[in-house]
Structure 1
């Protein structure tokens, strides 16, 4: 049985959204404390996320603010990620 359509594991979502190259990289990013969910630090890769939640992801090159708007069963190409999140820009 697949995952519910309204939620998904955090590490899987980050990988599907192509924030990092591998799911293992996504899990390590989370365990290292570089991911916040609605402002609270998350260190558990299996944490479930839902649409509408906001991720703050600190990467080497930049910090990204992403609002979750959808989920994917598989990792698609770069253009398919537009249905997974909205990039939030700070003014």
Structure 2
């Protein structure tokens, strides 16, 4: 771990990668360039923004908005247990009542039965009707 007093800093993309929020540092940098990461409430457009202990990061991850407080700056990308010591998760819990409705909803568009391309059996039945 780096200096716990908070005087040292680390690049935003590197910290997000070390804390295992993104699989690669380039993915973390892409999120920063897309202006999807906030540091202490301010949008960041560069991955080179300095992060220090005590900063609060807000970014979308897996359909949720994550709110993370930086507790320590890492020296390497270690195992998940080591990465979890770098931050405190301040993300508010989802309401339980709305969770069932979201999980029950289909992910994609709903297709009506019988619409679309006919099956082989349906094509044969159509051919019989047309006397082919």
TM-score by length of 1: 0.89
Quote how far apart the aligned CAs of 1:90 are. Answer: 2.4
Please say if residues 34 and 45 of structure 2, whose CA atoms lie closer than 8 Å, have aligned partners that are also in contact.
yes
Distance in structure 2 (CA, Å) of the matches to 1:30 and 1:89: 19
Higher-strand-fraction structure: 1
Stretches of structure 2 that go unaligned for 5 or more consecutive residues are 94-132
Bigger Rg, which one: 2
Structure 1 equivalent of residue 57 of structure 2: 55
Aligned residue among 72, 79, 82 for 1:77? 79
Quote how far apart the aligned CAs of 1:54 are. Answer: 0.1
Stretches of structure 1 that go unaligned for 5 or more consecutive residues are none
Question: How many equivalent pairs are there?
Answer: 88
Please say if residues 34 and 59 of structure 1, whose CA atoms lie closer than 8 Å, have aligned partners that are also in contact.
no
Greater relative contact order structure (CA < 8 Å, 6+ sep)? 1
Aligned residue among 23, 26, 36 for 1:24? 26
Moved over 6 A (4+): none
TM-score by length of 2: 0.63
Higher-helix-fraction structure: 2
